[in-house]
Structure 1
Amino acid sequence: MIEKIPLAGVIGSPVAHSKSPRLHRHWLERYGIAGYYIPMDVAQADLKEVLAALPKMGFVGVNVTIPHKETILGLADLVSDRAALIGAANTLIFRADGKVHADNTDGIGFIENLRHGAPGWEPTAGPAAILGAGGAARAVIAALSEQGVREIRVSNRTRSRAEALRAEFGPKIVVYDWVQAANMVEGAATVVNTTSLGMVGKSEFRVPLDALSPGTVVSDLVYTPLETTFLREARARGCVAVDGLGMLLHQAAPGFERWFGRRPEVDEAARAVVLAG
């Protein structure tokens, strides 16, 4: 009897820009796994119907991207604690019993990227400072909290979104006005940009970084360009700079393992494949 070839993919709208298919194809070829990873542009109105059809077509799971990461929680049968805490899912597993399991691996990807890019990083060394209060910030805050960071400073252009995070995550969140973002980084051991500032086609990153201390671990979730203004200026001040590409790679690994049965290695070859796209 011929076994079914496992299928996986990414659903969102748009998805043509996604680097995930290139990465997963690289891993499938590297490990000699008979499987496919397919980008699928799915409209919000069709999401429920598509989700019901995919397992019947041989799909073992999918990644979920904008604009479906929040909506999908209401359609899944099982939701992991971390996906519920973050309020979004990026990975679905279609189980053998027919149930859809929703998870979020963004926090895992963020922490793994920090540990790889800054091997001496110690989460309890001091406060963390987060620029932004969107979905990516939620994943980062949840991950840092889990790692034992005791104070997490948050600044967002719309203060109410940062206040909402404090209401949800508790008193360890300290909110700063956006005009005080430059002061927020003083004394921080970890500083993370979760905004789109500095991304190709977006507004420039203009938050002054004079208060950064040498040795501070800084990370930018933006990876186009790979060397952002934020990272370049932080590195010039003696900080340990970690680019955002590694988070993309590391968050993809758990899904690949669940779908295809092999934990893929995140290495220079994987980075090169994604950068070439």
Structure 2
Amino acid sequence: MSNTPKAAITGWPVTYSRSPLVHGHWLKKYGLEGEYGRRDVDPETAEDFYRNFKDSGLVGCNVTVPHKELAASVCAELDPAAEAMGAANTLWIDDSGKLCGANTDGIGFLGNLDQLAPGWDDNPGTAIVLGAGGAARAVIWSLLSRKFETVHIFNRTAKKAMEMAEKFGSSTIGHAWDDLGDYIGKADLLINTTSLGMRGKAPLEIDLGPLPESALVSDIVYVPMKTDLLKKAEARGNRTVDGLGMLLHQAVPAFERWFGMRPEVDEELRAMMIADLEKDG
């Protein structure tokens, strides 16, 4: 019986997940014993898998769509972020045998901006978040943790934006997508959390004309690395941050939890990931 700690990305499907590249790079870089792979978890058996995670042979796992909410619901303990979001992307068994969960998506978002746009939150004012899904939830949580005064949420289904705003309190306001033009001129920060603009998806069509030049623009999409939103923002003089770093930084606390060393998101890792993304065209 091997004592090598094993972790994996779990979800349905996980064939194309790049998480094994990230964790594999760190295991090799730091010379650690360990393995990180992929494990497809069929939605029909997912509850049983996570509820009995201690029988999986893994010391922990990442959780991706569509199981983040389910994973959180079967954990004995959740960190404050997972508790607030009702979703977990990182699981481990503690010393007493309990299944614990965390949500590091918000940490990943913040780590990316801290690294690539230092000082971005020196004067936290007004943020605009496009979308009202799981990624938006993580981004909103992280912005409020950095004391942003107001977060406006815009979604194609206005009701979803308003329901999400209600969960986060009076600093968040939900809107219909068509009202974006009335608010974009007030933004200090604009973040796309939708899949619009991703390769193979519909384009993100918004007018950046009224956006202040001082506003930072971020897109959590990283395929392509430079989305049309980021290209248009750069062309008019806005600072921009791509979405790759969110994927890399959200992996840091999970790796430390399972393998006992806090890894670094450095240029070598970014370059390796960019080269891999470019292979896919």
Q: TM-score, normalised by structure 2?
A: 0.94
For residue 260 of structure 1, report the CA deviation from its aligned partner: 0.2
Displacement of 1:54: 4.5
What is the alpha-carbon distance in structure 2 between the residues aligned to residue 52 and residue 221 of structure 1? 30
For this pair of structures, how many residues does the alignment match? 276
2:262 partner letter: R
Are 1:181 and 2:180 counterparts? yes
Q: Deviations over 1:28-83 (max 9, x none)?
A: 00000010001001112212332355534542110000010011112111112210
1:217 aligns with 2:216: yes
CA contact (8 A) 1:23 1:273 kept: no
The answer to whether the 8 A contact 1:190-1:217 is kept is: yes
Q: Which secondary structure does the structure 2 equivalent of 1:161 belong to?
A: helix
Is 162-171 or 2-11 further displaced after alignment?
2-11
* Counterpart for residue 279 of structure 2: none
Aligned: 1:132 with 2:131: yes
Task: Report runs of 4+ in structure 1 exceeding 6 Å deviation.
Answer: none
- Greater mean alpha carbon deviation, residues 122-131 or residues 59-68: 122-131
Q: Secondary structure at the match of 2:163?
A: helix
Q: Distance in 2 between matches of 1:43 and 1:116?
A: 36
Aligned partner of residue 186 in structure 1, secondary structure: helix
Contact 1:62 1:92 in 2 (8 A): yes
1:153 counterpart SS class: strand
**Aligned runs of 1:235-246 on 2, under 5 Å?**
235-246=234-245
Map of 1:120 onto structure 2: 119
Give deviations 1:77-128, integer Å, cap 9, x for gaps: 1112210211211000122211110110000000111111111212534200
Report whether the alignment pairs 1:195 with 2:206: no
- C-alpha change, 1:7 and 1:216, in structure 2 (3 Å) is same
Aligned residue for 1:38, secondary structure, equals: strand
Could you list the runs of 5+ residues in structure 2 that have no partner in the other structure?
Answer: 277-281
Partner residue of 1:275? 274
Q: Indicate the percent of aligned positions where both proteins have the same amino acid.
A: 44
Corresponding residue number in structure 2 for 1:256: 255
Answer yes or no: is the 8 Å Cα contact 2:213–2:238 preserved in 1: yes
- TM-score, normalization by structure 1: 0.95
List alignment gaps of at least 5 residues for structure 1: none
CA drift of 1:184 comes to: 2.3
CA RMSD of aligned residues (A): 1.5
**For 2:57 and 2:13, how far apart are their aligned partners in 1?**
23
Mapped contact 1:62–1:93 kept (Cα < 8 A): yes
| 1:4-40 deviation digits (Å, cap 9, x = unpaired) | 1101011000101101001100000000001000100
Residues 47 and 70 in structure 2, CA contact (< 8 A), matched pair in contact too: no
CA distance in 1, matches of 2:53, 2:272: 27
Query: Aligned equivalents of 1:191 and 1:119: distance in 2?
Result: 16
CA shift for structure 1 position 213: 1.2
Aligned partners of 2:133 and 2:57: how far apart in 1?
34
